Structure 1
Amino acid sequence: MNPKFSSLLLIVSLLVSHMAISQDTPNDDLHITGFIDTYYSYDFSQPNTSIRQPFLFNHNRHNEFNINLALIRLDYEKQRYHARIALQAGTYAQDNYAAEENMLQRLNEAYVGLSLNRANTLWLDAGVFSSHLGFASALSIENFTLTRPLVAESSPYFLSGAKLSYSPNDRWFLMAVATNGWQRIQRVPGNSLISMGTQVQFLPNENVLLNWSTFIGTEDPDETRRMRYFNNLYATFSLSEKLDLITGFDFGWQQTAKNSDTYDMWYGPVVVAHMQWNQRWATGLRVEYFDDENEIVTSSSGPAGFKTTGVSLNMDYQPDNRIMCRIEGRYFHSPDDLFDDISSLSNQNFFMTASIAILFDKSW
């Protein structure tokens, strides 16, 4: 383990121990959350490397027991300010934070927020925080499916910067974001342009949520700057006490060259249905398509870009509300040979993933 990370982990542990011992009566100011997601995945294409497919960043080790995400998170809450720090390990951290320095790869979130009005409806947060793009969480236990949809794997899980959020009432949520880039803690060397984004959420009633999120920025240094424009749309529906539905559609454009009037486009629709059969058993079904012909936000071995249809089905068992046991089958099909295979490439891919995840927390 990196010595700097060990020191930071020791400091966090001592802080938690001190708070637990020093406070005789709980006041709920400090909240600690722990999460561990263990998994085993078998890719029937039997790729030649342990990393199954290059466009997946969760549960993506073939024929190997591993940790997708192990996380410890501290939240400090007061009426007019709050703070969060979360440390992480696992294949999720290795793959999604690969562009960052080793120390920063261990940082899942770290931010401070201040209330800007007496009603506490206007907040300014700054640091490293979860992305406002997409409905999939980095914590698998919070999602209807075990693995993440292609639209989530090809858009940011985290951002670094500042965000201004406003909740005028229970129905509306508005946010503006300034960041260092597209899923980056450190800005791209040579890039002087800050990226921007927005989010609008509307709840017409207690059973429906509508979301529109955006991103405008670049992933290039100034001399080759190509602007990127991205939209994330999704809606969640609670159709009954047992049945929930999510529909989403992502689409974006990027300039083909600096100052060019032509753009390359990518897009992806997804539908997720979730049936809670009883307190312990549930099923998740996902149907999706993703088209990134010029591989702007995906990476594959295919000769003609990335075009893929996907279907997945998972069965969930919860012996306790803190523990989730899951098994999922997932199938991909493409008109081109783009999936890593035991021999070369294939136009289809099927894999099974099993997971046991636990989420626990405590307040002081």
Structure 2
Amino acid sequence: MTPLSHPAFMQHFLLMIMMIFGLGCATVQADTTDNALHISGYIEAYYQRDFNRPGNNRRPDFIYSHSRADEPSINLALVQATYNTDKFRANLGIATGTYMRANYAAEPGLLNNLYEANIGLKLSDQHDLWLDVGVMPSHIGFESAIGKDNWTVTRSLVAENSPYFETGAKLTYTTADGKWLVSGLLLNGWQRIQRADGNTTPAFGHQLTYKPNDKVTINSSSFIGNDKSDRERQMRYFHNLYGQFTLNRAWSLIAALDLGAEQATKDSASYHNWFAPVVIVRYTVSDKLSLAARAEYYQDKHGVIVSTSNSNGFRTFGYSANVDYAITPNLLWRTEIRKFDSPDAIFIKGNESMASTNFTALTSLAISF
């Protein structure tokens, strides 16, 4: 077990983060012109109708955000402190909600409420070069846990089935003109705070982002590592590629593709593959009103990421449309309809039946401060 994944290390690390913010508060109190410390919050409440009416009120197992149906729920309630100076930065976020319960289920104790906890140090006076260590948002994908920052209400299948968060160390360099960002990462695993039991091997990742102007973003991210014990070791290789484009004042587009492969068994020369494309189109009517539509597909025939009880694995098309209305700058009302289609009956219907389609309608209200 390496220091980053040791329980005692995590306890000391969290204590250090809290001490840093305590010093930050003292600094702000001592000098009211110092804006280094910022406290923010976010709450998203939702109600989702699943027309299959699953008896357990749960969405399918491959859905981790907005994971409850037919009952009023809080997806994410987050309080976050951020401390930024020219040479130092730190973040601490504590959260609860159905998102946290679904995504942090493997983490023990208070760690399953730890949205974010990291510190960063600028390594150069001449260049924008940073080293960050701790629990951080994932470097993979274009969607995050904070719904207001995403074009659609629910998350795409590529986001739901790749890491939302990660723990480790990240070295990041951004060019002076802001057009290129490159990161190298040493990680504890695939969406983990602590490593899997019996795992002594680190995982690795990269991120490369190109922004030639404010209308185009192209991003490449990867993960390489074993997310099981050493005894069961199966190497996983994963890559996410996406492009985000502002076509004109009204229309915007995101296109993304996930590709993954994992060893069929330990020391095997054969691999189980999966892939998932998604396209989202957004139309901005005004500063308050926007519309979005999404089409996606996910194929994981061997159940590496999404397991099913049928022999054909997971093969699902998804479609959604949503309307967003900003009641005030910090209060967002959203509605969405979404449908999944599969050639196999993989969706729970009622208490015992299974269906090949799944249709939902969701409304949410998000406030940020």
Write the letter of the residue equivalent to 2:357. Q
Aligned partners of 1:317, 1:346: CA distance in 2, in Å? 33
Q: For residues 122 and 325 of structure 1, do their structure 2 counterparts lie closer, same or farther at Cα, with a shift above 3 Å needed? A: same
Q: Deviations over 1:279-299 (max 9, x none)?
A: 211111110000011111113
Q: 2:170 aligns with which of 163, 173, 176?
A: 163
Aligned partners of 2:288, 2:111: CA distance in 1, in Å? 37
Q: How much does 1:18 deviate?
A: 5.7
User: Match for residue 248 of structure 2?
Assistant: 240
Write the letter of the residue equivalent to 1:286. R
Q: For residues 19 and 303 of structure 1, do their structure 2 counterparts lie closer, same or farther at Cα, with a shift above 3 Å needed? A: farther
SS class of match (1:64): coil
Q: How much does 1:21 deviate?
A: 8.3
User: Match for residue 107 of structure 1?
Assistant: 114
Matched, 1:59 2:66: yes
Decide which moves more: 112-121 or 208-217.
112-121
Aligned partners of 1:136, 1:106: CA distance in 2, in Å? 20
| Gap regions ≥5 residues in structure 2 | 1-10
Aligned partners of 1:159, 1:206: CA distance in 2, in Å? 28
User: Match for residue 155 of structure 2?
Assistant: 148
Q: 2:220 aligns with which of 186, 207, 212?
A: 212
Q: For residues 319 and 180 of structure 1, do their structure 2 counterparts lie closer, same or farther at Cα, with a shift above 3 Å needed? A: same
Aligned partners of 2:255, 2:49: CA distance in 1, in Å? 28
SS class of match (2:189): coil
On the 8 A contact 2:223/2:239 being kept in 1, the answer is yes
Write the letter of the residue equivalent to 2:192. R
Q: Deviations over 1:53-92 (max 9, x none)?
A: 1110011211110100000000011111111100000010
Q: For residues 335 and 55 of structure 1, do their structure 2 counterparts lie closer, same or farther at Cα, with a shift above 3 Å needed? A: same
Aligned partners of 1:16, 1:87: CA distance in 2, in Å? 19
Decide which moves more: 185-194 or 23-32.
23-32
Matched, 1:116 2:150: no
User: Match for residue 281 of structure 2?
Assistant: 273
User: Match for residue 354 of structure 2?
Assistant: 345
Write the letter of the residue equivalent to 1:331. K
On the 8 A contact 1:55/1:300 being kept in 2, the answer is no
Write the mapping of 1:277-292 to structure 2, written as runs, cut at 5 A.
277-292=285-300
Q: TM-score, normalised by structure 2?
A: 0.91
Matched, 1:354 2:359: no
Q: 1:184 aligns with which of 192, 214, 229?
A: 192
On the 8 A contact 2:42/2:78 being kept in 1, the answer is yes
Misfit runs of 4+, over 4 Å: 14-21
Matched, 1:259 2:249: no
Q: 2:234 aligns with which of 205, 208, 226?
A: 226
Q: For residues 16 and 115 of structure 1, do their structure 2 counterparts lie closer, same or farther at Cα, with a shift above 3 Å needed? A: closer
Q: For residues 238 and 248 of structure 1, do their structure 2 counterparts lie closer, same or farther at Cα, with a shift above 3 Å needed? A: same
Decide which moves more: 197-206 or 173-182.
197-206
Q: 2:204 aligns with which of 168, 191, 196?
A: 196
Q: How much does 1:241 deviate?
A: 1.5
Aligned partners of 1:249, 1:296: CA distance in 2, in Å? 17
On the 8 A contact 1:41/1:61 being kept in 2, the answer is yes
Decide which moves more: 350-359 or 21-30.
21-30
Matched, 1:45 2:55: no
Write the letter of the residue equivalent to 1:115. K
Q: How much does 1:321 deviate?
A: 1.4
Q: For residues 36 and 301 of structure 1, do their structure 2 counterparts lie closer, same or farther at Cα, with a shift above 3 Å needed? A: farther
On the 8 A contact 2:132/2:169 being kept in 1, the answer is yes
| Gap regions ≥5 residues in structure 1 | none
| Backbone CA RMSD of aligned residues | 2.0
Q: How much does 1:120 deviate?
A: 4.5
Using the aligned pairs only, state the percent identity.
Answer: 40
Q: How much does 1:312 deviate?
A: 0.3
Q: 2:136 aligns with which of 125, 129, 141?
A: 129
SS class of match (1:198): strand
How many residues align? The count is: 352
Q: 1:321 aligns with which of 314, 322, 329?
A: 329
SS class of match (2:224): strand
Q: For residues 243 and 340 of structure 1, do their structure 2 counterparts lie closer, same or farther at Cα, with a shift above 3 Å needed? A: same
Decide which moves more: 296-305 or 218-227.
296-305
Decide which moves more: 81-90 or 15-24.
15-24
Q: How much does 1:304 deviate?
A: 2.4
